[in-house]
Amino acid sequence: MSMLRSVVLGCGSYLPERVLCNAELARTVDTSDEWIVQRTGIRQRHIAAPCEVTSALAIAAARAALADAKIDPQSIDLIVLATSTPDYTFPATAVTVQATLGITRGAAFDLQAVCSGFVYAMATVDGMLRTGAFKRALVIGAETFSRILNWNDRTTCVLFGDGAGALVVEAQTQPGARTDRGILTTHLRSDGRHRSKLYVDGGPSSTQTVGQVRMEGRAVFKHAVAMITDVVEDAFKVAGITANDIDWFVPHQANKRIIDDSAEKLGIAAEKVVTTVDQHGNTSAASIPLALDVAIKDGRIKRGDLILMEAMGGGFTWGSALVRW
């Protein structure tokens, strides 16, 4: 029986020009390239210029995705922007993207699920497109985490970077089979009991300040692999597939050890794992679309491939999305 699916038409990304490598960081904070590479796999990260706000990164990524899809921005009627580092407390950064692209119809809003934001945004857009109420969406992950880091705290400042990635997604009628193109299944979870393990210590209603990232890294690490595998196994079950059916595993890029352990536990072959954490660091909601764009542009991801995305982060939140490209 035919059904509406959310099919990806194009992908784009943007990274700020400035690259901050581990050796440079080690000159200002008590760390070393060796420690960072060994514990995280990160070698460098991009840092937004002082004048570059999250919407600027998001707009650049959105323009690249629209160009890749070869569609006019005017045909977009939904923008969902996942970020924890909005330009302002309100309005949503998504409406700045909307206005700058000259879009005056439809809906635009931000979504906050920290590092799981992109998977949450994919699930949200998929639900909204499949109601038939919206036709074409921009799904964006954009972050300027450099603005909420304590640059004297070596346990957090070495981990994160700035960037943005975007997908153009369209509602299309598909045959309703496992071979359909589009988002096949999404699975979202959260458990707020863990909210103090990874958080920002400020906000409009509490401190009236922006705040800075605080993390119990070891505690987050301890939960990450189990949560990731749990939600991926749910996706496998619902889609009726196994790890062998996956063409590319595009995980949230927080730590190479978490990525490798998750892939191994799930039985996903190492050569199917897309890893960009070495080049980008952890860009929170932007990490998955940034990684997707790398693997598309270098020719790995092709139309018809089955892509598994997953993420885990503050909250805790976690989730998976299975997409036929």
Residues recognised as catalytic: 115, 252, 282
Counting contacts by CB under 6 A, is residue 40 touching ligand UT7? yes
Cα(223)–Cα(312) distance, rounded to whole angstroms?
A: 9
DSSP letters of 255-291?
-HHHHHHHHHHHT--GGGB---HHHH-B-GGGHHHHH
CB of 67 to ligand UT7, least distance (A): 29
Cα(267)–Cα(251) distance, rounded to whole angstroms?
A: 14
Counting contacts by CB under 6 A, is residue 150 touching ligand UT7? no
The backbone region for 214, taken as left when phi is positive above 0, alpha when psi lies in -120 to 50, beta otherwise, is: beta
In the complex, which residue's CB is closest to ligand UT7? 217
In the region spanning residues 262 to 291, those forming contacts with ligand UT7, defined by CB under 6 A, are: 282
- Phi first, then psi, for residue 76 (nearest 5°) are -85, 130
Counting contacts by CB under 6 A, is residue 163 touching ligand UT7? no
CB of 46 or CB of 154, closer to ligand UT7 = 154
Q: Which stretch binds ligand UT7 (CB under 6 A): 8-16, 161-169, 174-182, 212-220?
A: 212-220
- Phi first, then psi, for residue 30 (nearest 5°) are -75, 80
Cα(169)–Cα(62) distance, rounded to whole angstroms?
A: 12
Counting contacts by CB under 6 A, is residue 193 touching ligand UT7? no
Counting contacts by CB under 6 A, is residue 223 touching ligand UT7? no
- Cα maximum dimension of the chain: 61
Encoded one letter per residue, x for contact with ligand UT7 by CB under 6 A and - for no contact, window 295-324 reads ------------------x-----------
Burial profile 250-280: b = 16 or more Cβ within 10 angstroms, e = fewer = bbbbbbbbbbbbbbeebebeeebbbbbbebb
Q: Which stretch binds ligand UT7 (CB under 6 A): 33-41, 76-84, 178-186, 271-279?
A: 33-41
Residue 265, amino acid = K
Q: Is 231 in contact with 318 (CB distance < 8 Å)?
A: yes
CB of 35 or CB of 109, closer to ligand UT7 = 35
Q: Is 130 in contact with 28 (CB distance < 8 Å)?
A: no
Counting contacts by CB under 6 A, is residue 224 touching ligand UT7? yes
Residue 149, amino acid = L
Encoded one letter per residue, x for contact with ligand UT7 by CB under 6 A and - for no contact, window 105-134 reads ----------x-------------------
Counting contacts by CB under 6 A, is residue 229 touching ligand UT7? no
Closest CA to 249 of 186, 181, 300: 300
Binder of ligand UT7 out of 45, 46, 136, 154 (CB under 6 A): 154
Counting contacts by CB under 6 A, is residue 213 touching ligand UT7? no
CB of 167 to ligand UT7, least distance (A): 20
Binder of ligand UT7 out of 4, 9, 19, 31 (CB under 6 A): 31
Q: Which stretches of the chain bind ligand UT7, using CB under 6 A?
A: 31, 35-36, 39-40, 115, 154-155, 158, 217-218, 220-221, 224, 254-255, 258, 282, 313
